[in-house]
Amino acid sequence: MDRFDAMTLFVRIVEVGSFTKAANALDIPRATATLAIQQLERRLGVRLLERTTRQVRTTVEGQAFYERCVQLLAELEDAEAILKPVASNPSGVLRVELHGIHASRIVLPRIDEFHARYPRLELVVTSGDRLVDLVGEGVDCAVRGGTPGDSTLIARRLAEFPQVICASPAYLERMGRPESPAALRDHHAVRFVSGSRAPDAELEVVIDGQTRAFAAGGWMTVNDAQNYVACALRGCGLIQVPRFHLEQALASGDLVEVLPEWEKPTLPIHLVYPHRRQLSPRVRVFIDWLVDLYAERFGTNRQATSTKRETPASRKLSES
């Protein structure tokens, strides 16, 4: 087995967590896979995988090698794609980062349609609470809220989500309804913490064409969008998220919008991907499909503006 085949096998083992499953996927004997990894470890002089009877996981060195292998294999596929007529039916592994409602309510319910159109592509979809380093971890593209601040990424606008500020009926009965944006300072908000940032309890309203933030009090802090909504449902305070996220709760009356007469800033949704001279066919077809999917669901996208910034709501949506 040559080096690139061994790297492909190693990456597959890490992703599926099993020698047997990886060997079956690559149509090689289990013993061949075991021997190839042993030879790879001997050549590198380090142990890459910790093996137990129940699972296979990377060592520290193995994780670093995995991330580099993903990059190298993606670059090799890109180089081959330039020479081969595969644009209409690309093949290979496509790694996508999706979170929250983007995964569960927008993309994955239609993903079978994408597979039917491009059956030779294999998708690896990752989710989590941390902001993934696309370049360092070999992720092809991601859907994120807000305007990306990473200059190494290309961003393509998918949609803009109208936002609402809302709370449970029990909270509003106890604390009263805010009658003006300034009154938000006298209320509790569920605070959201992201990475190393301080907990955020700001609620945003558009006044005279400008977005203004009002810092509320609060006693509950979370770092996950589902928990953020769950706390609002239990009367812990006000929250601000895209209306699309809360359609059912608003319709049922479990949550009630406040200050509906005041405009809230919209949340831009972007597809981001690393800058490359030659965008591989497998990434290009997914980008085109995703743009059409969001346009069909949310209408024509407005032009991006340079004044948009990452908002507290964008972090709540992006990291859930």
Q: Tell me, what's the pLDDT at 16?
A: 81
58-103 pLDDT tens trace: 999 999 999 889 888 877 876 766 665 555 688 888 999 998 889 9
% of the chain with per-residue pLDDT over 70: 86
Within a 10 A sphere around the Cβ of 225, how many other Cβ atoms?
24
The whole domain housing 306 covers 85-159+268-313
CA distance 187 to 220: 13
- Same domain? For 147 and 168 the reply is no
CATH number at residue 292: 3.40.190.10
Q: What are phi and psi of 42, to 5 degrees?
A: -65, -40
Largest CA distance in the chain: 70
Please give the DSSP secondary-structure letter assigned to residue 122.
E
DSSP secondary structure code for residue 303 in this structure: P
Return the pLDDT at 310.
43
Number of domains making up the chain: 3
320 falls within a domain = no
Report the percent of the chain where pLDDT is more than 90.
Answer: 57
Same domain, yes or no, for 195 and 224? Answer: yes
Report CA-CA distances (Å) from 221 to 17, 58, 138, 192.
34, 33, 32, 6
**Could you read off the pLDDT of 3-42 as tens digits, one per residue?**
889 999 999 898 888 898 888 878 899 999 999 999 999 9
Q: Which of 85-94, 196-205, 300-309 has the lowest mean pLDDT?
A: 300-309
**178 & 244 share domain:** yes
What pLDDT sits at residue 223? Answer: 87
Task: Indicate whether 225 and 252 sit together in one domain.
Answer: yes
pTM to 2 decimal places:
0.67
Domain shared by 9 and 71, yes or no: yes
131 has pLDDT over 90:
no
Query: Would you say residue 197 has pLDDT above 90?
Result: no
Residue 256: which residues within 8 A CB-CB, separation 6 or more?
Answer: 166, 167, 168, 169, 172, 250
